[in-house]
A and B are shown apart, each in its own frame.
Chain A
Amino acid sequence: MTSAVRHHIEDRARPTIGSVVRRWESLLVALLLLVFLVAGIALNGFLDPYNLADSTFNFSEKALIALPMALLIIVREIDISVAATLAVASVAMGFANQLGVPTAGLAVVGIAIGALCGAFNGVLVTRFAIPSIVVTIGTMSLYRGIALVVLGDQAYTGYPEALGDWGQGYFFGFLPRSFVILLVFAGLFAAGLHATVFGRRLYAIGSNPVAARFSGISVDRYRLALFVLTGTMAGLAAVLLTGRIGSTRPNIALGWELEAITMVILGGVSIAGGSGTIGGVMLAVLTLGLVTYALGLANVPGILMTIIIGALLLVTITVPVLLRTRASARRR
């Protein structure tokens, strides 16, 4: 390995203060602090630790879906069917519950059905080389339809107490369990994406799938694995959500797919693939969660929140492009 080296590849440049400040994540941290500061001063009860802890219930399940969605978007794929997958998994749990399956079994059923839905998406995408957005728009309709066929205008209720404990219970009487689960999975995903060969290969696939294939990466197997992973996480979210609200209706988690995607994009993951971090996604999750919580305390109707989220998303992607155009104009 000494004389045979023909090419010398530079190490990545050491981060300078300027490059750290300009990172997307730094901007999110600043935004998070700003929200914290403004809301903490302006709103009574915002800083109450119990309130803060409880506010995490609103986004933990969504964020659990956003994590694998980030990986999918990094490899240039997308899954629109996640919320519908969640619905099917929840329906399967309700069905199993009526047959008298115990709590642990219900969790297994929910997660397994989620994985199955994800696998179906993955097989369609990889075997037939169809763009994932088309496949998952179709399967979204299909999965949601299955939930509708099974339930009609009925609902499954009467879930065991233990399931509710996981959905809305606490560790040490203070920390919401779903939030702890989210943090654990965020750690796992961050480690997997940023510290393993698997993760590096995802970036390679996202940067250039053809080149990645020619470098010996089994691109389609990675794609399939990510779709299964996304379905599995949607199944896990179904277990927690079903436990939290204690019932399954066909319209459960309606519209969540777009909220999860918004979290990912706001977190700095490029829709063109090949870039983004789990840290960024988690910061976006926390920022959105805090803003929602603050607006709720301020009695702002929830629908106005959609304007803010949509505008944030547009500003998020527009500003860097405008800055880049200005910078290149100056150079010329």
Chain B
Amino acid sequence: MIGSVLKQREVQLALFLALLVAVVGVRAPVFLSPRSVDSLFTDAAILVMMALAQMLVILTRGIDLSVAANLALCGMAVALIGQKAPGVPVAVLIFAAMALGAALGALNGALIGLLRLPPIVVTLGSMSVFRGMIFVLSGGAWVSSHQMTPQFIAFPLDRLFGLTHLVWCAIAAALIAWYVTRHSRFGRELYAIGNHPVSAGYVGVPVRRRLFAVYAVSGLVAGLCGYLWVARYAVAFTEIAYGFELNVIAACVIGGVSIAGGVGTVAGAVLGALFLGVISNALPLVQVSPFWQSAITGTVIVVAIVFNAREGRRAGKQILPLGARP
């Protein structure tokens, strides 16, 4: 019963997304051309991956504000390695980005999971530190396309069976996230922690270790996306992906992932990210100034949360109007 209701929310979001695509398609038929759809998915791929990782964190009642800074730091690190040692194979660089990202995420995880510090404060602090470290690493300099090897730049946009590697990465991430959240013990324990951390501890969920792991995973995905971002746009500098963490969280919120923990699906997070991707790709096609993007995104978020809040309101015995808080 609850499952079917939850399912409906994703279905509604999918229908709304389809409607949006149709409206844009009528105004600007080129939006539905294979090339445009291909670039839409390619553009949204990084946001999809980051939203999925962020969803795992939010499921546990946490939040990871440091993902964008982590992404930028890992991207800069591999760009510098690639510049100083052009002989290093791209596969090794990708692995290095993921390892560095996971290590940075584990730092958050240690403070949040092992010491039980509030996630928002910890990741706010580490966000500043990571962002500043980029400057220390690079000395404030840019790494631009002519300093990167062709193989380094080529990977994200190379094609396999007609789709870019970026899209394949996002598909793989979605499948893994689906398996983890639906069928693995680890994933189910994340939901348990988000629903009630204390109860989860009593029934034997190793809460501290799971929290540690989930922030490390979030960092790992950020590291991978760091390489993809830098290689895709063929430039690395201190401010890349500035403020991107809020887009990632917005994608989750639009997708119906509850910030109060314990609620959220892979389909929701993917749809939320695609929603933002459609908005940013469609605006230029329907001759709306790109300056509208932020306002429209904000409106969508506000509407989505009000919508979700009305649906999620539980009927129950209530003596005083408390403003149901977890």
Given contacts A129-B313, A139-B298, list 10 more A-B pairs with CB under 8 A: A128-B305, A128-B309, A130-B306, A131-B260, A145-B291, A250-B291, A258-B124, A311-B129, A312-B125, A314-B125
Query: Across the interface, which residues of B come within 8 angstroms of A144, CB to CB?
Result: 294, 298
A312 CB → nearest B CB, Å: 8
A179 to chain B: closest CB distance in Å?
25
> Is B253's CB under 8 angstroms from A138's CB?
yes
Residues of B within 8 A of A (CB): 63, 111, 115-118, 120-122, 124-133, 135-136, 140, 238, 243, 246, 249-250, 253, 259-260, 289, 291-299, 301-302, 305-306, 309-310, 313, 320-325
CB distance from A152 to the nearest CB of B (A): 5
Q: How far is the CB of A18 from chain B (nearest CB, A)?
A: 25
Interface: A287 (CB within 8 A): no
Known: A130-B306, A141-B298, A261-B124. A306 touches B131 (CB 8 A): yes
Report Cα–Cα, A39/B249, bound state, in Å. 40
| Interface flags, A115-143, vs B, CB<8A=1, else 0 | 00000000010101111011101111111
Residues of A within 8 A of B131 (CB): 303, 306, 310
Q: Contacts A129-B323, A138-B301 hold; do A307 and B132 have CB atoms under 8 A apart?
A: yes
| Chain A residues touching B, range | 35 or more
Complex formed: what's the CA distance from A317 to B299 in Å? 35
Residues of B within 8 A of A128 (CB): 305-306, 309-310
Do the beta carbons of A149 and B291 come within 8 Å of each other?
yes
Bound: A318/B111 CA distance, A? 8
Which residues on A are within 8 Å of B, measured CB to CB? 78, 80, 124, 126, 128-131, 133-135, 137-146, 148-149, 151-153, 209-210, 213-214, 219-220, 223, 250, 255, 258, 261-262, 265, 271-272, 301, 303-314, 317-318, 321-322
Q: Is the CB of B253 within 8 A of A310?
A: no
In whole Å, how far is B191's beta carbon from the nearest beta carbon of chain A? 18
Show 26 A/B contacts (Cβ-Cβ < 8 Å), sorted by A. Answer: A128-B306, A128-B309, A129-B324, A130-B309, A133-B63, A134-B305, A138-B302, A138-B305, A141-B295, A141-B301, A142-B295, A143-B298, A148-B295, A209-B322, A209-B323, A210-B322, A262-B125, A271-B121, A272-B118, A301-B140, A305-B132, A310-B127, A310-B130, A313-B124, A321-B115, A321-B116
The one of A262, A271, A322 in contact with B118, judged by C-beta atoms closer than 8 angstroms, is: A271
Query: Which of A141, A214, A307, A322 is close to B297, meaning CB atoms less than 8 Å apart?
Result: A141
